[in-house]
């Protein structure tokens, strides 16, 4: 068993990355990710981590360096947030199309303007279609475990993985965290062996032109690999449970067995929501919670199964898709339900934007609204929750 220590989550995440024996860390510091890469820089500087630390001049270069390094067979890490992620944008689909097992931690932060350093999921939602496997952590322990998991998955599926942590709320709190014993990490994440890589002794070309006669096929091949990664993800969690005793699934449910209404949410706000569920359950209200841990590839079947017998759900989004039929998660959920026989009413609220607090009382109100939504006329669009009129 690993040792349980109280640590700032960013530091614990960096320690986990170091335990994964990365060869290259390339990053540009941006709040609220800074502590992660700073600590990694310390570890490299102190000789505790035998890796190249590339202090680049921008996030675009950070991802470029990871791509170049990963293509030679190196294990890589980077981390970013908000505008930094957007600055990386051009390189993100290249990492996935090249099938490179890059791992990135995104300390989720609202995007500008107005400038906000606080948390929501607006940043990562911009990259949801770019072929990165994406997981969302709820707390510090999960953040650390999802880092181990990310390397396992990335290198088995040969696809990049983004681990999302809520900025400040998760990254900057001190929590009791259990890091795995090094020998278990070594077993779970053996040295990276790539079938094809850049090697002067065995030259190959990566990044050739894709004329119209081949581009479609290239994307189809990538998409098939991406969809197949679902199984890799689930298997990696099962194997993780064997070594750590900690169980993870693409969709987590809380008190859903007999729930009539449910809240659907991602990230750390689920902890607050769980308290609300407990409080309402004590009052005899049949409420439940569904938390999406694996966002891409979207676990449609698990999600539909998780719904149980609910009559109405509220999807609580942490990002806007201006002028769309819902927030990103709301759209996803409605689309999944359309093909299913199980079709509860869906209320889609967008809230906790730019660090706005959402309390247990807010969630109580939200559950009340979900109950009254069972009989209400369906509403197709979304609503921004908590905006002062």
Partner 1 sequence: MLKDQGLMSWKELAPGMYILEPGNSVKFKTGDWKSHKPVLDKEKCIKCGQCYLMCPEPAYEENEEGYFICNLNYCKGCGICAAICPKGAITMVLEEA
Q: Which of 195, 242, 375, 388 binds partner 1 (CB under 8 A)?
A: 195
- 191 binds partner 1 per the rule CB under 8 A: no
Smallest distance, partner 1 to C-beta of residue 77, A: 20
Smallest distance, partner 1 to C-beta of residue 297, A: 17
- Between 131 and 344, name the residue whose CB sits nearer to partner 1: 131
Kindly state the tokens that stand for 70. Answer: 């990963």
Q: How far apart are CA 16 and CA 150, in angstroms?
A: 11
Q: Could you write out the DSSP letters of every residue in 334-362? A: HHHHHTSS---EEEEEE--GGG----HHH
Query: In sequence order, what are the residues at sequence separation of 6 or more whose Cβ sits closer than 8 angstroms to the Cβ of residue 65?
Result: 24, 26, 54, 56
271 with 219: CB under 8 angstroms?
no
- 216 binds partner 1 per the rule CB under 8 A: yes
Smallest distance, partner 1 to C-beta of residue 159, A: 10
- 213 binds partner 1 per the rule CB under 8 A: yes
SS3 letters across 103-129: EEEEEECCCCCCCCCCCCCHHHHCCCC
Smallest distance, partner 1 to C-beta of residue 198, A: 10
Part in contact with partner 1 (CB under 8 A); list of ranges 50-58, 172-180, 195-203, 263-271? 195-203
Q: Which of 3, 183, 205, 341 binds partner 1 (CB under 8 A)?
A: 205
**59 class by beta-carbon count within 10 Å (0-12 exposed, 13-18 middle, 19+ buried):** buried
SS3 314: strand
Part in contact with partner 1 (CB under 8 A); list of ranges 29-37, 92-100, 112-120, 285-293? 92-100
Site for partner 1 in 99-138 (CB under 8 A): 99-100
Smallest distance, partner 1 to C-beta of residue 288, A: 41
Q: 159, 8, 181: which is closest to 93 by C-alpha? A: 159
81 with 30: CB under 8 angstroms?
yes
Q: Which of 41, 44, 56, 206 binds partner 1 (CB under 8 A)?
A: 206
- 341 binds partner 1 per the rule CB under 8 A: no
Given the rule CB under 8 A, which residues bind partner 1? 97-100, 158, 195-196, 203-206, 208, 210-214, 216-218, 220-222, 224-225
């Amino acid at each position: 068993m690993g040792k349980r220590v109280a640590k700032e989550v960013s530091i614990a995440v960096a320690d986990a990355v170091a335990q994964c024996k990365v060869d290259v860390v390339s990053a540009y510091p941006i709040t609220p990710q800074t502590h992660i890469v700073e600590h990694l820089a310390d570890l490299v500087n102190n000789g505790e981590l035998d890796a190249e630390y590339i202090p680049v001049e921008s996030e675009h270069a950070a991802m470029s360096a990871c791509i170049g390094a990963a293509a030679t067979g190196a294990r890589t890490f980077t981390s970013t947030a908000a505008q930094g992620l957007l600055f990386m944008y051009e390189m993100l689909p290249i990492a996935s199309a090249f099938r490179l097992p890059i791992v990135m931690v995104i300390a989720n932060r609202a995007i500008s303007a107005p400038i906000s350093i606080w948390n929501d999921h607006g940043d990562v939602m911009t990259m949801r279609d770019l072929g990165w496997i994406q997981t969302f952590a709820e707390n510090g322990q999960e953040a650390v475990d999802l880092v181990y998991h990310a390397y396992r998955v990335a290198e088995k599926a040969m696809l990049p993985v983004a681990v999302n942590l809520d900025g400040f709320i998760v990254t900057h709190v001190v929590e009791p965290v259990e890091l795995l014993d090094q020998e278990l990490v070594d077993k779970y994440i053996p040295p990276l062996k790539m079938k094809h890589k850049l090697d002067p002794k065995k030259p190959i070309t990566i990044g050739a032109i894709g004329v119209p006669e081949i581009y479609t096929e290239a994307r189809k091949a990538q998409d098939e690999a991406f969809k197949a990664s679902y199984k890799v993800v689930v298997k990696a969690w099962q194997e993780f449970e064997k070594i750590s005793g900690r169980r993870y699934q693409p969709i987590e449910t809380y008190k859903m067995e007999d729930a009539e209404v449910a809240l659907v949410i991602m990230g750390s706000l689920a902890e607050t929501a769980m308290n609300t569920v407990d409080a309402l359950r004590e009052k005899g209200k049949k409420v439940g919670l569904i938390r999406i841990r694996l966002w891409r590839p979207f676990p449609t079947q698990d999600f539909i199964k998780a719904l149980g017998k609910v009559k109405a759900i509220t999807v609580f989004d942490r990002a806007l898709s201006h002028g769309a039929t819902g927030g990103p998660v709301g759209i996803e959920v409605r689309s999944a339900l359309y093909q299913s026989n199980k079709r509860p009413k869906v209320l889609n609220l967008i809230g906790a934007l730019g660090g706005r607090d959402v309390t247990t009382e807010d969630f109580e109100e939200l559950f009340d609204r979900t109950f009254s939504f069972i009989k209400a006329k369906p509403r197709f669009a979304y609503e921004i929750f908590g905006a002062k009129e």
